[in-house]
Amino acid sequence: MQASLARALVFYARSVPGWRQLAVETVRHVTGLRLDHVPAGWRDARWVRRFFKDTYQSLSYVEDWREAFARHPRLRVSPCNINNPVEIVRALRALKEADLVVALHSAVGDHLGVMRRIGRFLQGRRGPAIALFGNEYNLMDEKIDFARRAGVDFIGSQLPPAAAAQLYAGLPRVRVLHAPAALNPDVYRPGPSGPRPVDLGFRGQAYPLFVGDVERTDAVNALSDAARRAGLAVDVRFAPLERGGWSDFLAGCAGIPGAESGTYFLEPDSKLLARAQAYCRRRPAATWPEVRERFFTGARKINGKAISSRHFEPLGTKTCQVLLEGEYNGILKPMEHYIPVRKDLSNVDAAVALLADPAVRARITETAHAFARAGHTYLKRVDDLVRAALPGAEAGGGFAGQ
């Protein structure tokens, strides 16, 4: 006899949470208004695009996590968009019937105002609660306070376990689980066989100066220059793409540069980064040497450098990564899953030469693709979280490798 499904209440957001967005999505929900309802001549107007834009469209992992929870074979998921008050009311009524409550990265990442108000009701829930904090370097005092006030049972952290243990040491009753990003193989798939039009490509936003380093930006620029010197086709821009466009772009690239995400200056109250961010807002023309000297020289904090979704998505499209040396949460290994570049960038030409070698590139991408699909999918991540929070909710046969 098949086990009954556990009822999971999953909080998420389509756009950065906040009172303005709540008002916008309330109007959209009540009226049923969609962009295709707007007269064609108005659709390109800035205010129209802004009204209908979901700001998390360029963050693929936001949708990947939500879809993985929805697909778990032992969960019956009720999603709640926290920018929609109708859904919030419905979710709060369901708290006492939910076997599991989950706050996804989009709900507790960039703005905690809405979830902090919801948090006081979570104390009356039936089942355990998991918080998956997004951007684990920003607003950490608010996130830790939310976990404490809501009585969160588990935190699924994207950070390396040692860094996460330090960051959440003030929450001794909370169990911290290793929950890094992963691959969504349904979205990130290899393109057609044969040569790819771009040898080295990149799309993504440059990390702001207030996070405390410019390693990735420098690595992308240095590798781009080296690839051009080698006569390779280069298509590099610091601009984000939505999920579908990003997947297509990756599938057309033989290689992509990158580095670990996050900051070397992690702290439970985020005060250092908050001061640096405020300074950069006041002085938009501030340079990296200026910001480094004022805020980061001599600072000793928790190393929060981590693997991210951008390191798994190329594995799915069999795009060879050329990455700065790092730990990558102990998951990715140099010359097995990526081509390494030294932190001082002294071997960029040698790294590009390896990328240009079809045999090397094929060996790494085939190994990395099989590795990710075998044990590092979002379905596997969600299964690990469910098993920890609901030990009786066993996954169906063959699930872990999907």
Taking only the tens place, the pLDDT of each residue in 41-54 is 666 666 555 655 66
168 plus 220 within the same structural domain = no
Mean pLDDT of the region 184-189: 96
Give 269-277 contacts, CB < 8 A, sequence gap 24+: 269/140, 269/141, 270/137, 270/138, 270/139, 270/140, 270/141, 271/141, 272/296, 272/299, 272/301, 273/137, 273/138, 273/210, 273/211, 273/212, 276/209, 276/210, 276/212, 277/208, 277/210
Other CB atoms closer than 10 Å to residue 308's CB: what's the count?
19
Question: What is the model's pLDDT at position 191?
Answer: 86
Q: Does 36 lie in the same domain as 158?
A: yes
Does some domain include residue 394?
A: no
> Does residue 265 form part of some domain?
yes
Which pLDDT score, from 0 to 100, does residue 35 have?
A: 58
The DSSP H or E segment spanning 176 is strand 175-178
Same domain, 282 and 342: yes
**Cβ–Cβ contacts within 10 Å for residue 129, how many?**
25
Read off the tokens for 366.
Answer: 């085939």
Domain that holds residue 277: 198-375
368 and 333 share one domain: yes
Report pLDDT for 395: 45
Residue 213 has pLDDT above 80, yes or no: yes
Phi and psi at 78, nearest 5°, equal -110, 105
pLDDT band at 233 (very low <50, low <70, confident <90, very high): very high
Query: Is residue 249 assigned to a domain?
Result: yes
Q: Domain of 238: which CATH number? A: 3.40.50.2000
Residue 402 located in a structural domain:
no
Q: Compute the distance between CA of residue 197 and CA of residue 179 in angstroms, rounded to an integer.
A: 35
Q: Give the residue with greater pLDDT, 46 vs 119.
A: 119
Distance CA 48, CA 28 (A): 12
The number of folded domains in the chain is 2
**Which tokens hold the place of 209?**
């100066």
Query: Quick one: 111 and 211 in the same domain?
Result: no
Residue 312 has pLDDT above 70, yes or no: yes
Q: Looking at the domain assignment, is residue 255 inside a domain?
A: yes
Domain membership of residue 401 (yes or no) is no
pLDDT tens digits, 356-382: 999 999 999 999 999 999 999 999 999
Are 316 and 221 part of one and the same domain? Answer: yes
In the numeric block, which tokens belong to residue 345?
């960038």
Residue-averaged pLDDT of the chain:
90
Are 252 and 217 members of one domain?
yes
**Most confident by average pLDDT, 2-6, 55-59, 168-172, 240-244:** 168-172
pLDDT of residue 401: 34
pLDDT at 318: 98
In degrees and rounded to multiples of 5, residue 320 shows phi and psi of -75, 125
CB 34 within 8 A of CB 150: no
* Mean pLDDT in residue range 193-200: 94
Q: What is the DSSP letter of 171?
A: -
Look up the pTM and report it. 0.89
Confidence band for 400, pLDDT divided at 50, 70 and 90? very low
Helices and strands (DSSP H and E) totals, the chain: 15, 11
* Residues 338 and 385 grouped into a single domain: no
24 has pLDDT over 60: yes
| CA angle, residues 363, 310, 80, in degrees to nearest 5 | 135
Strands 339-341 and 154-157: unpaired
> Are 171 and 203 within one domain?
no
Residues 40 and 81 in one domain: yes
Return the pLDDT at 256: 98
CATH of the domain at 50: 3.40.50
**Average pLDDT for 29-47:** 65
Predicted pLDDT of residue 307:
98
Banded pLDDT at 17 (limits 50, 70, 90): confident
Confidence of residue 141 (pLDDT cuts 50, 70, 90): very high
Both 166 and 309 in one domain: the answer is no
Residue 190 included in any domain: no
- Regarding whether 349 and 251 lie in a shared domain, the answer is yes
100-103/6-12 β-pairing:
parallel
Contacts for 35 with CB less than 8 Å, ≥ 6 apart: 43, 48, 52
pLDDT digits over 274-291, tens only? 999 999 999 999 999 999
- On the question of pLDDT at 70 being above 70, the answer is yes
- Does residue 22 lie within any of the structural domains? yes
